[in-house]
Amino acid sequence: MVIKEKMNISDIDLAGKYLPGNDEISIEKEVQIPENIINKFEEISGKENVCHTNDERANHAYGKSYPELLKLRLSKIENPPDLVIYPKSTDEVVEIVNICNTENIAIIPFGGGSSVTDALEAPKGGISLNLTRHMNKVLKVSEINSSVKVQAGMYGPDFEKYLNTFSSGYTCGHFPQSFEFSTVGGWIAARGAGTFSTAYGKIEEMVLALKVVSPAGSIETKDYPADAEAWDLNHIFIGSEGVLGVIVEATLKIRKYQANNAAYAAFLFKDFESAVNSMRQTMQAGYGKPHLFRISDPEETDVAFKMKGFDGTFSDSFLKLKGYKPGKRTLMFVVIEGDKDYAKFIKNKIKKTAKKNSGFFIGGKPTKKWLEQRYSSAYARDPLMDLGIITDTLETTATWENLLPLWEEMRAYLKNRPLTTVMVHLSHVYENGANLYITFLSPMKRGDELDDYYQLHKGLVDTIVKNKGSLSHHHGIGRALSPWMKQQYNETELGLYQAIKNKLDPNGIMNPGNMLGLG
Ligand SMILES: Cc1cc2nc3c(=O)[nH]c(=O)nc-3n(C[C@H](O)[C@H](O)[C@H](O)COP(=O)(O)OP(=O)(O)OC[C@H]3O[C@@H](n4cnc5c(N)ncnc54)[C@H](O)[C@@H]3O)c2cc1C
């Protein structure tokens, strides 16, 4: 109802489904890999693990970006892989990569398929190498080193459950909103961030060691807590988006799982700027940081309040009287984990900082409620698309001094388009700045849905770059953002990426065209 009101949706639109995507899929591109090579793959991984049915090819043709979902609704499958292979071991991956390198067959490493950057398409056909069926196990937990060695194809919930129930209980601490449908390998390859990243760190701060199979050979880094053996090879592969090799194993840090100790808080601020100031002051104060730290800008706050039925309640009237007005007021959520005394201490400190910035403490319940729906809320996109609404997200990061101007410019750009709802939150926070995560809803241009979207998206990315935001904070580059890499990096810098690519993947078979348009 909130969206119906905001976007002027009629009852007729509500009754039907726009582009329901019910047509049977047809894949026009024939399988290009010769039968004798397919036989070789079948000998390596078994016939049941080498698939070329239309369903398998279609399931691996896309990730989950808005234009990809739209293309599926339009029955467009332009770049499917020829084959999907589910290898059972690192040795099999080595054999498959070697054959592909010799025969010039593309490989697209495939995790959970939750990429939102068009990173999984197969413009040159080839193989979608899916590690989730077999290479999905924890290999070793070291309690003394506080680390876990895990195969890259393990899904988030299986991994976390294993750790939570191991011995006295551990956590990985990485909870992207796609947690249920993404894998350890995908987290590393896309250089992601989870909801609790402000204290646990992004995935790159969790990786101790990696095993990677590249066309040039295998690389296995060591799990030192830190070292100075020249530069850090892990960082060549973290964020490599499948263009250098297949990550088969990772050793990650783990922490004690102490969920019962967690302290929760929520605040309402009079305006966005005060909330941002409070967040920055907390991060720079030196008293420690929370695990979840999140601000919803005024439009996101208003939508949340309306959806929860808070508008018009007694508490709402009270808050309005105190100066917390719709259109300006801003919600903040906080969770601190770890030792009980520590969690309590940080919560009190954050409360004091918030109070100095007009932050009104509204208890811990709103944060707990938000956490309950943090995964499911991300999938509101599909029913909104049924109504003919573009529903997309983009994320960036900026230093504190650039953050507010960037927020204003992004909003102004999107708001130029009639009936557009723009909700922004900050959810990964640092001493030096934070990310900005934009969710926008806008009516589709019926009959010209894709081109219209691409135009809107291009203008938004241009606005971000012009206002000193990064191309991504945690989704990665993929094919969706690769055209902007030339603007962000000079020839020497791009040449360096290309040189690494040439060394590890001389024939350009690894996820061709992804990330930098390399290969
Ligand atoms: C609803 C939704 C919410 C999301 N929320 C978040 C979020 O909170 N935080 C976040 O960081 N991201 C988020 N994402 C984006 C996405 O889930 C992440 O990028 C995730 O890390 C991808 O993992 P995956 O296993 O699904 O990888 P895939 O989507 O299968 O692959 C992503 C990229 O990694 C490469 N790759 C995958 N596995 C390997 C491997 N073993 N070796 C080498 N390369 C590999 C692929 O080739 C591709 O380039 C979200 C996506 C959706 C749809």
pLDDT bin (cut points 50, 70, 90) of residue 15 is confident
Mean of pLDDT values over 376-380: 88
Domain 259-374 belongs in CATH node 3.30.930.10:
no
Residue 464 has what pLDDT? 98
Q: What residue's CA is closest to ligand 1, atom 31?
A: 186
The number of residues in the chain equals: 519
Kindly tell me if the per-residue pLDDT of 194 is higher than 50: yes
pLDDT bin (cut points 50, 70, 90) of residue 518 is low
Best substitution site from 62, 90, 94, 177 to test ligand 1's pocket, by max atoms within 8 Å of Cβ? 177
Q: Encode pLDDT of 208-264 as tens digits.
A: 999 999 999 999 999 999 999 999 999 999 999 999 999 999 999 999 999 899 999
CATH 3.30.465.10 intervals, the chain: 138-256
CATH number belonging to domain 25-130:
3.30.43.10
- Interval between CA 457 and ligand 1 midpoint (Å): 20
Mean of pLDDT values over 497-502: 96
Residue 12 has what pLDDT? 65
As a whole number of angstroms, the distance between CA 254 and CA 142 comes to 9
DSSP letters, 74-131, are: TT---S--SEEE---SHHHHHHHHHHHHHHT--EEEESSS--SSS-S--TT--EEEE-
- Interval between CA 239 and ligand 1 midpoint (Å): 10
- Interval between CA 454 and ligand 1 midpoint (Å): 21
| Contacting residues for 344 by C-beta, under 8 A, at least 6 apart | 263
111 pocket-lining for ligand 1 (C-beta < 6 Å): yes
Structure tokens given for 390: 């573009």
Kindly tell me if the per-residue pLDDT of 8 is higher than 90: no
Residue of 390, 332, 389 lying closest to 362 (CA atoms): 332
In percent, the amount of the chain with pLDDT more than 90 equals: 92
59 pocket-lining for ligand 1 (C-beta < 6 Å): no
Residue 14 has what pLDDT? 74
515 pocket-lining for ligand 1 (C-beta < 6 Å): no
Considering Cα of 294, then 298, then 304, then 308, what sign does the dihedral take? positive
Residue of 151, 58, 36 lying closest to 102 (CA atoms): 36
| Contacting residues for 5 by C-beta, under 8 A, at least 6 apart | none
| Nearest ligand 1 atom, CA 242 | 44
As a whole number of angstroms, the distance between CA 70 and CA 79 comes to 15
As a whole number of angstroms, the distance between CA 387 and CA 389 comes to 6
152 pocket-lining for ligand 1 (C-beta < 6 Å): yes
Kindly tell me if the per-residue pLDDT of 302 is higher than 70: yes
Structure tokens given for 348: 């009190």
- Interval between CA 445 and ligand 1 midpoint (Å): 29
HSE value, Cβ hemisphere, 13 Å, CA-based, for 437: 17
Runs of H (alpha helix) within 357-504: 365-372, 381-386, 400-415, 449-466, 485-488, 491-504
Residue 25 has what pLDDT? 78
Best substitution site from 131, 154, 182, 504 to test ligand 1's pocket, by max atoms within 8 Å of Cβ? 182
Q: Which helix (H) or strand (E) holds 280?
A: helix 272-285
Residue 169 has what pLDDT? 96
Residue 129 has what pLDDT? 98
Q: Which helix (H) or strand (E) holds 335?
A: strand 330-336
| Nearest ligand 1 atom, CA 109 | 47
Kindly tell me if the per-residue pLDDT of 409 is higher than 60: yes
- Interval between CA 146 and ligand 1 midpoint (Å): 25
Q: What residue's CA is closest to ligand 1, atom 9?
A: 176
Kindly tell me if the per-residue pLDDT of 10 is higher than 80: no
| Nearest ligand 1 atom, CA 181 | 26
Q: Encode pLDDT of 39-67 as tens digits.
A: 999 999 999 999 999 999 999 999 999 99
Residue 398 has what pLDDT? 98
Q: Is residue 369 classed exposed, middle or buried when 0-12, 13-18 and 19+ CB atoms within 10 A define those classes? A: middle
- Interval between CA 245 and ligand 1 midpoint (Å): 15
CATH 3.30.43.10 intervals, the chain: 25-130
As a whole number of angstroms, the distance between CA 307 and CA 303 comes to 6
Residue 296 has what pLDDT? 98
Residue 342 has what pLDDT? 97
185 pocket-lining for ligand 1 (C-beta < 6 Å): yes
Instruction: Specify the 3-state DSSP secondary structure of 305.
Output: helix
Residue 26 has what pLDDT? 83
As a whole number of angstroms, the distance between CA 11 and CA 387 comes to 11
- Interval between CA 87 and ligand 1 midpoint (Å): 19
Mean pLDDT rounded to a whole number for the chain: 96
Backbone torsions φ then ψ of 393, nearest 5 degrees: -130, 150
CATH number belonging to domain 138-256:
3.30.465.10
Over 48-72, what HEC string results?
A: HHEECCHHHHHHCCCCCCHHHHHHH
In percent, the amount of the chain with pLDDT more than 70 equals: 99
Mean of pLDDT values over 23-34: 90
Backbone torsions φ then ψ of 280, nearest 5 degrees: -60, -45
Residue of 236, 147, 207 lying closest to 504 (CA atoms): 236
Mean of pLDDT values over 75-91: 96
Residue of 277, 9, 216 lying closest to 94 (CA atoms): 216
Kindly tell me if the per-residue pLDDT of 519 is higher than 60: no
